[in-house]
Structure 1
Amino acid sequence: MTDYPPGPIGAALRAADARDQRRANGRRTVDTITDDELDQLYADTDRADEVIGDLNETVVRSIKHAAATEQRAKQAEAAIARVRALHQPVQGLGLDSDEESKGYGLIEQACSTCGTPDEFAIRWPCETIRALEPQEPTP
């Protein structure tokens, strides 16, 4: 006997196996079917309708979930774009931590938002922009 998963998927698999079995045994005609077999046919049809309804509900929920996930992804990407637009590279003056310059002076690429580019500039890419970059997965 086959073990089926619970829920509508298992019911659909059971129904498909039963349908295949009926096909293998040959199709019964109205003249040869018994009352018990007809009752079973109606029961199988009712169960198939229930399974189809359950599967339709599952599909609708999945579509709604996918649409909501897509909307959240678009919103997140728009937010990231707004952050990137705020943190652009500009020339600035500040205390540079670069090994070559080490001191106060011109920073060729400073962040337009972090610090104050005309006095206390922060080297670009700033911490914010670096946080938006893809991270290497940890093993």
Structure 2
Amino acid sequence: MRLSLRKLAIITLGFIATSTATTATAAATETPTFDLSTNQLEVAELEPGQSARFAKGEVAEVLFAESEGRSTEATLTTLAAVPAPNCIVARAEKGFVQVYNNCGGSDPQRVKVVLAFGPDTQCKSIQPGTRSNVGPAAGRIDGVFLC
């Protein structure tokens, strides 16, 4: 979820049932209020200090916009989100994950193996033309990524 104290958007569908009235409020500086109590789909972008009220029986979807230059969630923008080349292969063998580096060259590749139903392996450097045990095979291998 992206959080921001600067802006947030409200989307409401007036025909879906929920419980009691709800108020969504941004940072307190001004007090203009949007009334979204109609039976239509409406979108309102709130500035800091603005609020929105919803009548009983209405549903609101609140989306938080990201602040400029700042993010409060961890994002995979590092090389860890880049898939390893096809010449790097991970296999589960005898209860462990073996990573084969069949790439040419002389530089090692740092890789991480993503496992389903278990923790991902740590990043490990694999020399070209070799294989390495990177950890236990706690689940299905979902992919190999560069670190």
Output the TM-score relative to the length of structure 1: 0.25
As a proportion of its length, which structure holds more strand?
Answer: 2
Higher relative contact order (CA 8 A, sep 6+): 2
Output the TM-score relative to the length of structure 2: 0.24
